[in-house]
Amino acid sequence: MRGNYGKGGAVCKQVIEQETVPCSIGHCGVMMIKKAKFFLFSEESKCKKLINKGIAFIYIVLGINAYLLLTLIVLPALRIPVTMPVKLVFGIIVAVAVIVATYRYYELPKGVTLYNDYMQFDVHGVPDSRHREKSNPKVPYACIQKIQICKGKRPPKSIFNSKDDGWFDMGGSGVRYIRITAEIYEEEIFVFYVDDPEAFVEALRDYMINAGAGKIWGA
């Protein structure tokens, strides 16, 4: 393991939906507005690609369940007549939702974007209810406690990208991965691969220092 950047840091409980981090953690000074920078995840392994092919099936199953829930339980409970036109309308709505979700997952680029005071993972997957409300989670720079570039295989994970032993597999594959420890709602570890880990870490360092969150860098 190499590239261990910083440790420690106060517990961060900011509202993740906010576009800026509160001034109480030192963000009230002069901050240069930087253009967002996107880093694409490295190419997935053959095993991960095979698993990803099953995502469309999962979306279809979820869509069918949603349709049955609406037509068999929700609408009758609301005393709405479940006529053929009503079934057709809701069937179209569910089908469109499944198509859009599948398109987003397979066609939109996956990676991580650096913004002025937070980084955001663009994974376009199913939201993890325990960790985040959205499928593309944000990590405020003030919450980051440690940044590492690690060699070797990452730990095993669950197929649904959920929490295993305190960490999240965000995407990519390779011989070296980036491991970011942050304390948002609780301590969480984000693991992902990009083609040039050093370039990403250097860019992240610049953004964090610019945002006034460079304590782990000694700035």
Give the tens place of pLDDT for each residue, 53-110.
777 788 888 899 999 999 999 999 998 898 999 999 999 999 999 888 888 777 778 8
Q: Is the pLDDT of residue 196 over 90?
A: yes
Return the pLDDT at 25. 41
- Write out the chain in H/E/C secondary structure: CEEEECCCCCCCCCCCCCCCCCHHHCCCCCCCCCCCEEEEECCCCHHHHHHHCCHHHHHHHHHHHHHHHHHHHHHHHCCCCCCHHHHHHHHHHHHHHHHHHHHHHHHCCCEEEECCCEEEEECCCCCCCCCCCCCCCEEEHHHEEEEEEEECCCCCCCCCCCCECCEEEEECCCCEEEEEEEECCCEEEEEECECCHHHHHHHHHHHHHHCCCCHHHCC
pLDDT digits over 137-179, tens only? 889 999 999 999 998 766 555 444 444 455 777 888 888 999 9
Q: What is the mean pLDDT of residues 193-197?
A: 92
Return the pLDDT at 24. 36
pLDDT digits over 18-28, tens only? 344 443 344 44
Q: Distance from CA of residue 140 to its chain's centroid?
A: 12
Q: Is the pLDDT of residue 207 over 70?
A: yes
Per-domain boundaries in the chain: 2-25+37-41+110-217, 50-107
Return the pLDDT at 28. 46
Return the pLDDT at 164. 47
Return the pLDDT at 6. 56
Q: What is the pTM of this model?
A: 0.64
Return the pLDDT at 162. 47
Return the pLDDT at 119. 95
Return the pLDDT at 120. 92
pLDDT digits over 103-141, tens only? 877 777 889 999 999 999 988 765 444 444 456 888 999
Mean pLDDT value across the chain: 77
Return the pLDDT at 219. 57
